[in-house]
Amino acid sequence: MAKATTTLKQVLNYQPDHSAWFAANQALFNQVAAFYFEVIQAHEKVLDLSNKEALTALEKLTHTTQKNPTPVMPLEEILEDIPAMFRRAAIHAALGSARSFYSHLQKWRKRKEKTLAKGKKFHERPPVPPRSWNKSATLYRGMWKERAHNSIVLKVWTGTCWSWVKVRITGRELPSDAEMGSPALIRHGNQWCLHTPIEKQFKSPGKIEKQVTTNAQTKMCAVDLNINENLAVCTIQTVEGTILATKFIGGGKEISGFRKKQLGRIAHNRRKTGIIAENEQDNVHLWNKIRHVDEQIAHLVSARIVQFAKQHDTTILVFEHLGNLKPAKGKYSHRGNSKRAFWMKGRIFKYAKYKAYNEGMLTSRVNPRNTSRECARCHSLLARYEEGQEAQGYMYGASLVLCPTCGMKGNADRNASLVIGQRLVTRYQQSSKEKPPTPLLAERVSRDAGVVVSQDAKCEEEPSIPQTGHGDTNEHGTAQDRPLRMDEHLSDIPCHLRLPLE
Ligand SMILES: [Zn+2]
């Protein structure tokens, strides 16, 4: 069995003055978390302990009891009578932040040491501990009771006392087959919501290697991510090579045009004011607008990819590694745009991996080398060109390809996605055919075949950060249900994303 975590988001209905109580409750939670962060800074060794042991150690340092009448740093100085479960939730929040901060600091020290040892100068600034705390209060058991599908009773700090408050809940109901975690009281603008992590168990999909090497009918969805009009092109194919369906997810031009406009405005504003204050983000509103739309598109595109894969009962999702960002030349808006388009590809991958995992699919990445230049049918080098031009040479980013060797003709991005899928199969078939005695040899064998076994191929299979709850987007696009041949015309399957632009 495997587990998937999602977040159930519910809106709360409460009396108007309760909103101030929730805010006071959150402020106190952050004050206590910040306090514990300081305690940890003063006793760094705590971080060598497990969370459970660290909790005990931190309580001993701060919590006054009969057995422990004079703790080193008493929490009472902030407020007396903080409920134990409130304190523990804040301690865990502080521990999480502290672990992350110290691991970044350690990595930074290592990089510094390494660079200085080489006799080079080290300019990177060290990570800083959080300057302000803005965490949402997690409600451990004991801080809430009587949870029903439309109401819950919460214990909150009102600013002057601890009080039980009954609030109404609207939104999705708790699924009956899922296990519920501790809810958190979250503010969205002026509205307070309850977010509850829920864990679902499902039959775990077999390892990719096993699926690929033992069943030739295993279906994969291979995805080519682009920064041109087709943000993603997906093909469904079986391990033995039958192509079952293709889907084009468009909207690239629209998002690029939107970004270009906003970046142009930012450049214009900067020229007007002349200076950019250090450590201060300029044009906050415009940047937020870009960020928001990028994020939304990444969620939409990843949801579509997973939905398409699910419709065709695929169990594996394949992408190519993104490689490094090649800095574009030209105007500020153009450079900024291509940088953001590149980041968005990374985000689409990350979200798709999550959403796929929650549907019981595993995700992998393959070597991106020449995926656009190789013929999916015979693996020769392709000619790439635009409609109306002569089919020869290689025009970067053009939409059509022709294989001079086997005559295959078709859409360039679709060809690339087919090649991506085939690479995954090649990787595992190579390694199973010549089953190597050592992992080192395995890597060499694969490299000889032109496919690099990715270092993180194994850990790629399961997502590492719980980021979920956005997979419920509606489908406006169309997908081809019948098998397509490479030389068929594909212009009949455009699929545009609707953007909430301006
Ligand atoms: Zn060919």
Dump pLDDT digits (tens) for 74-88: 888 888 889 999 999
pLDDT value of residue 277: 63
> Ligand 1 centre and the CA of 491: distance in Å?
21
> Ligand 1 centre and the CA of 74: distance in Å?
74
Q: Are 367 and 320 in contact (CB under 8 A)?
A: yes
> Ligand 1 centre and the CA of 390: distance in Å?
17
What is the DSSP-derived secondary structure letter of residue 132?
S
Q: Identify the CA nearest to 368 among candidates 285, 450, 490.
A: 450
Which residues surround the ion ligand 1 when the cut-off is CB under 5 Å?
A: 375, 377-378, 380, 403, 405-406, 408
More confident residue, 33 or 481: 33
Per-residue pLDDT tens over the stretch 436-463: 444 444 344 443 344 333 444 444 454 5
> Ligand 1 centre and the CA of 403: distance in Å?
5
Count of alpha carbons within 13 Å of 208, Cβ hemisphere only? 26
Mean pLDDT of 331-336: 82
**What residue has token string 């509850």?**
196
> Ligand 1 centre and the CA of 374: distance in Å?
8
> Ligand 1 centre and the CA of 422: distance in Å?
14
Whether the per-residue pLDDT at 292 is higher than 80: the answer is yes
CB atoms within 10 A of CB 474: 10
pLDDT band at 353 (very low <50, low <70, confident <90, very high): very high
pLDDT value of residue 459: 40
pTM for the whole structure: 0.60
> Ligand 1 centre and the CA of 234: distance in Å?
20
Per-residue pLDDT tens over the stretch 229-252: 889 999 999 999 999 999 999 888
What rounded mean pLDDT belongs to the chain?
A: 82
What is the DSSP-derived secondary structure letter of residue 17?
T
pLDDT value of residue 278: 59
pLDDT value of residue 275: 64
The whole-angstrom separation of Cα 212 and Cα 427 is 10
> Ligand 1 centre and the CA of 485: distance in Å?
13
pLDDT band at 184 (very low <50, low <70, confident <90, very high): very high
Mean pLDDT of 373-378: 93
> Ligand 1 centre and the CA of 402: distance in Å?
8
